[in-house]
Amino acid sequence: MTKRGAVLENRKKLDASFQVERYRRDFPILSQKVYGKPLAYLDNAATTQKPKSVIDMLNRYYSFENANIHRGIHYLSQQATDAYDEARQTIQKFLNAREAREIIFVRGTTEGINLVAQSYGHTFLKSGDEILITAMEHHSNIVPWQILSDQIGAKLRVAPINDNGELILEEFEKLVNERTKFVAVTHISNALGTMNPVKRLVQMAHQLNIPVLVDGAQAVPHTVVDIQDLGCDFFVFSGHKIFGPTGIGILYGKAELLEKMPPYQGGGDMISSVRFEKTTYNKLPFKFEAGTPHIAGVIGLGAAIEYVNQIGLKNIFEYEQELLHYATSVLMKIPGLRIMGQAREKASIISFVFDDIHAHDIGTILDQQGVAIRAGHHCAMPLMERLGVPATARASFAFYNTKEEVDRLVQAIHAVLEVFG
């Protein structure tokens, strides 16, 4: 079956109850006008918009429930603690993690990766060890490993990609060897949309007992993630990319590894007893949650995941695939437009360039038409170097985007061509 045929087949399977116009009404920001034009928000890989249920939850928390958790004996503190704990269970179920204590609240993907690099890496890696990443990583899955490598004398190895923006599996496999002591890979590339076969990568690494961290920042808003099926040792994502608040994210870690790892930060809540001579640490997950956490963020993230669950990530995936194929086909008709990243397995992210027009100029003119995209290196400068471009223009779609918005993107690009023609 052709790819288009497969998409149409999937469309038939798409739950008839998937109603994009209804979902759009859940997001107050989407009905805004910018420069007098309806907003077409196509910058979802940078951050997603928030449904009313999340906004209302934050409002309710601060209006009626605000208190610090795990310390007060009073009513409000109990309410806040219960809501906080409940959100952890929601996220455990969402990822299909074995236990709630494997879910650690962090600031975001970036902090989750830094935590693992410093706590696990600094403890279990040594001089001469190799850390394997890929050529399509976001800076936040490169720099923490460089910092660690500089500290301990480890070596960063990079698995290459082909011209379609796909990881070259044979090369990846060759780089997995007895010196490799850690693998960190992105699930979905934020700049290309490439979906990596992470389950296979985990299997390759596990043959040599090498732990694997998966950067799931761009995965969780687009596709079903089953941690136990993937088999990875660590998985990180950011709340703000899955319709939740900023400043909150998740680090999943296998309990047996988290148990062995020292705390990342010291402070309140992460201890069981403190004396000047010696401090003992709290059990999981609290050992890694020093200080007053982002309580509202956690509760808001729980509400966001519940919202996504109601629609269903399978439905979201099918709908976005259809949108991706439509957008790809209409963009490819624009003279001179080149799509960077043509992986067979792709999420709804499209990076494109024109030879003689800078991405920032594209972004600026699109903005004036009410079309919000991102232009730049997308925090993936080594990837841009590999692609041979300084920057790309990137349209990234969520389940609330429509074909009409894709058409507006195309119209706005024609306006760019008129200016630079």
Q: Taking CB under 6 A as the rule, does residue 46 contact ligand 7TS?
A: yes
DSSP string across 357-368: B-HHHHHHHHHH
Closest CA to 26 of 56, 59, 64: 56
Specify the residue, 129 or 243, whose C-beta has the smaller distance to ligand 7TS. 243
Should residue 110 be labelled a site residue for ligand 7TS when binding is judged by CB under 6 A? yes
Least distance to ligand 7TS, CB of residue 357, Å: 21
Residue type, 337: L
Q: Which is nearer to ligand 7TS, 218 or 223 (CB)?
A: 218
136 binds ligand 7TS (CB under 6 A): no
CA distance 223 to 214: 14
232 as an active site residue: the answer is no
Task: Decide if residue 138 touches ligand 7TS (CB under 6 A).
Answer: yes
Binds ligand 7TS by CB under 6 A, chosen from 30, 83, 108, 264: 108
Tell me if 53 sits within 8 A of 301, measured CB to CB.
Answer: no
Q: Could you report how far apart the first and last alpha carbons of the chain are, in Å?
A: 39
Closer residue to ligand 7TS, CB minimum distance, 190 or 401: 190
Question: CB 278 → ligand 7TS: shortest distance, Å?
Answer: 34
Q: Pick the piece of the chain touching ligand 7TS (CB under 6 A) from 137-145, 154-162, 358-366, 406-414.
A: 137-145
Q: How many CA atoms lie within 13 A of 236 on its CB side?
A: 25
Interface with ligand 7TS, residue 109, by CB under 6 A: yes
Min dist CB 379 to ligand 7TS, Å, is: 6
- Which of 44, 118, 134, 218 binds ligand 7TS (CB under 6 A)? It is 218
Task: Kindly provide the residue ranges of all beta strands, DSSP E only, lying in 196-303, ordered along the sequence.
Answer: 212-215, 234-238, 249-253, 271-274, 279-281
Contact, 415 vs 371, CB < 8 A? no
> What is the rounded distance in angstroms from the CA atom of residue 278 to the CA atom of residue 283?
16
Q: Which is nearer to ligand 7TS, 109 or 328 (CB)?
A: 109
Query: Burial level of 148, CB count in 10 A (0-12/13-18/19+)?
Result: buried
Catalytic residue among 143, 169, 379, 381: 379
Q: Which of 101, 222, 346, 378 binds ligand 7TS (CB under 6 A)?
A: 378
Binders of ligand 7TS in range 153-192 (CB under 6 A): 186, 190
Query: Rounded to 5 degrees, what angle do the CA atoms 405, 348, 110 make?
Result: 115
Site for ligand 7TS in 226-255 (CB under 6 A): 238
CB closer to ligand 7TS, 109 vs 118: 109
Contact call for residue 114 and ligand 7TS (CB under 6 A) = no
215 near ligand 7TS, rule: CB under 6 A: yes
CA–CA dist 208, 343 (Å, integer): 28
Total site size for ligand 7TS, rule CB under 6 A = 17
* DSSP secondary structure string for all residues of 8-57: HHHHHHS-TT--HHHHHHT-GGGG-EETTEE-EE-BTTT-----HHHHHH
What is the radius of gyration, based on Cα positions, of the chain?
Answer: 22
Q: Which residue is nearest to ligand 7TS (CB)?
A: 190
Q: Which stretch binds ligand 7TS (CB under 6 A): 81-89, 158-166, 251-259, 372-380?
A: 372-380
Q: Is 72 exposed, middle or buried, given 0-12, 13-18 or 19+ CB atoms closer than 10 A?
A: middle
Rounded to 5 degrees, φ, ψ at 161 are -120, 160
Q: Which is nearer to ligand 7TS, 245 or 282 (CB)?
A: 245
Catalytic residues: 379
Q: Residue numbers of the site for ligand 7TS (CB under 6 A)?
A: 45-46, 108-110, 138, 140-141, 186, 190, 215, 217-218, 238, 374, 378-379
